[in-house]
Amino acid sequence: MKQIRLQKFIADCGITSRRKAEVLIEEGRVEVNGKIIREMGVKVTSKDMVQVDGKLLDRDATDHLYLLLNKPRCVMTTVSDPEGRTTVIDLCKGINNHTRIYPVGRLDYLSEGLLMITNDGDFANMIMHPSYEVTKVYEVKVFGAVGEALLRKLRDGVKSKGEFLKPESVRIIKQLPTKTWLEFRLVEGKNREIRRICEECGVTIDKLRRVAIGNLSLDGIKPGDFTMVSKTEILRRIGIDKKGKKVSNEEYVSKKKSVNKSRRQKFKHSGLAADSEEYKIYKKENYSETMKGMKERNQALSTNQLS
């Protein structure tokens, strides 16, 4: 009878990813045949009785689900939130009541866009692993105008907290009078990578949304909605075969063209540079206070006009 590692067995049962299953084991929350297991390397078969937090697992009874969700802004990328905020699982109506699903990777609270959700722990572990080099595409609106020198700085990468962060590419896809839309392409996808790059370059982000993972995109999925897809289709569109081997570099091709220099010159004098100190009031840590002040000023102006 085939033996598999305990953390893989837990992942196959749809409880969590293999990496998080290892944490459950270390915390003493896993039992095999009535005995608490804390060490790695234990192997089990389908005849072994495996429990997590007292719940008996059945590997053969799990139907794997794969969802693509368009996460709205101000939604938590977690299974639950102690503060009672809406989570991505709350948006999966009709599914989250029947099986335990969880997000693959993260989008922070203020970010939006494409997010995979599944109950297939092995699949989640594979997609998150940097060795597969799955390209992720983001559209980022920043305050101010991005000139050639700043664009080169964003492309060349930065040092942040001991890590070197360098996007695969950065281009300008839309120029507004006082803001700029950029397209970032990432391969490694380190924690808060785009936000950290922009912070090091003195650039303040207004909006950040992920539009594609490999050749999977947001197309046809409204904010807050999701669509179900097959594992075969997901693997095909990110260039990985069923055995987990990278077979092609599938990438999303945007219909948005790069904004050329002459087009950007028209807006040169209509706004400040994106790395201007004046935009720091819109940074995440200052945003709430800034918006509150602006609202109070607008209310005061309205009151004065009426009087």
**113 — alpha (psi -120 to 50), left (phi > 0) or beta?**
left
Enumerate residues 6+ apart whose C-beta is below 8 A from 15. Answer: 21, 24, 52, 57, 100, 121
Q: Does residue 11 contact residue 122 with C-beta atoms inside 8 Å?
A: yes
Residue 225 known to be catalytic: no
| Alpha-carbon span 119 to 124, nearest angstrom | 8
Rg of the Cα atoms in the chain: 23
Instruction: Find the helix or strand (DSSP H, E) in which 284 lies.
Output: helix 284-306
**42 — alpha (psi -120 to 50), left (phi > 0) or beta?**
beta
Among residues 53, 108, 156, 225, the one annotated as catalytic is: 108
Compute CA 146 distance to the chain's CA centroid, rounded to the nearest angstrom. Answer: 24
Q: Show which residues are catalytic.
A: 108
